[in-house]
Structure 1
Amino acid sequence: MPCSSRSLIALLLMGVALGACDRQSAPKEQENAATSGEVTSGEVAPSVDAGGKKYVIDRSKAGSGMPDFVFTDAKGTDVTLEDFTGKPILINLWATWCGPCVAEMPQLDRIAGDYAEDELQVLTISQDSMGADKVLPFFDANDFQHIKPWLDPENQFGFHYGGGVLPASVLYTADGKEVARISGALDWESDEAKALLEETING
């Protein structure tokens, strides 16, 4: 008998968790983390990139709008995604305690530099519950030239996008419409990733 949609989705997400960080990976002080979200099995594409990293591309929410959560910059200034509308956006949810997240950061920094800001904005939004106390020293210790520290210590984005794993990324067109969500670590310099970015920019 074939697997149910619910069972299939569970198996896919379990596979992704092997190449990413789940809620159990967080340190004890990290009480909030991304939780599971609804996906449509027919629109979920499990993949393994050339480096063996597992990830899932989910288009079940394509066309939906952006959430209006308040998050902050390094100085504590409140912003929302609406402040970035008019240009396509790549949101990346990450944490300092998540190894695959940290490994993605240099690629995301290069992407932010390769695509001019009028083409693509890369927002690396930390899900560290200790906020700036953890994130700013991490940025100080790394030579990132283009990405900036954005803080969401309440994990609003993680709860909203769901999936239960980090890193998680979401792409939005310039008019604020979702293109796709990625759960797990993606090779952002792969042909598949570049196609997603071009789709977002041209959307």
Structure 2
Amino acid sequence: MRPVRSLILYMALMLTANAASAADIASLEAMREGDMKKLAFHVEPRPTSEAAFQLADGAGTGSLADYRGKVVLLNFWATWCAPCRKEMPALQQLQTELGGDDFQVVTLATGRNSPEGIVKFFDEIGVTDLPRHQDPKQAVAREMGVMGLPVSVLIDRDGREIARLIGDADWASDNARAIISGMMAVPAAN
């Protein structure tokens, strides 16, 4: 009888956790204004890529699993992308204001972007506080269905994609910061 009782308790906890997660997402969706109206929340969280990417300055490889426990705004971009150039300073401002143990902006140059070209791009637009990671063979971008640039993906503490924004946005806006702060208030499901 005890195993059945444990199973019932486990199922009740799981249903409650899923309901809380859905309520959290609904409240975040309701906050969207301005550029953040383009931020499309998913009905169900989606898995993210397990592919490795190159860390900045040839420091080896990393993966999105390295960020588990943090809320992540993953930005796919390229040096030749004009909207990326416009958006990157706002991403830096968001990282400067909210980045830390709970949140991280992760920039991932996808496709053919030389390390020198990335440094030049960041220097030209005055970006100093964002990672210069690379996805040269587009493995992460391909696994996550990225078709154009820029694309920003909001990832929860459990490493799941919960929302996606296609195109550039003002990530330094009050509305964007409120959504990210709200996401940071949501505990991990697992």
Match of 2:40 among 58, 62, 77: 58
Whether the 8 Å contact between 2:48 and 2:144 is mirrored in structure 1 is no
Q: Which has the larger radius of gyration?
A: 2
State the one-letter code of the partner of 1:162.
G
Aligned match of 2:101 in 109, 118, 133? 118
**Using a 3 Å threshold, how does the CA distance of structure 1 residues 159 and 193 change in structure 2: closer, same or farther?**
same
Q: CA deviation at 1:180?
A: 0.4
Asked if the contact 2:95/2:104 (under 8 Å) is kept, the reply is yes
CA-based RMSD: 2.7
Answer 1 or 2: which has greater helix percent.
2
Deviations 1:25-78 (A, max 9, x none): xxxxxxxxxxxxxxxxxxx9xx993xxx79732223642232111001222211
Amino acid of the structure 2 residue aligned with 1:187: D
1:72 aligned onto 2:72: no
- The verdict on how the C-alpha distance between 1:185 and 1:141 changes in structure 2, with shifts beyond 3 A counting, is closer
Q: Which residue of 1 aligns with 2:135?
A: 152
**TM-score by structure 2 length?**
0.71
- What percentage of aligned pairs have identical amino acids? 30
Q: What stretches of structure 1 of length at least 5 have no aligned partner?
A: 1-43
Letter in 1 for 2:158: D
**Count of aligned pairs between the two proteins:** 156
Report the CA distance between 1:95 and its aligned residue: 0.8
Q: Secondary structure at the match of 2:76?
A: strand
| Deviates further, 166-175 or 58-67 | 58-67
State TM-score, norm by structure 1. 0.66
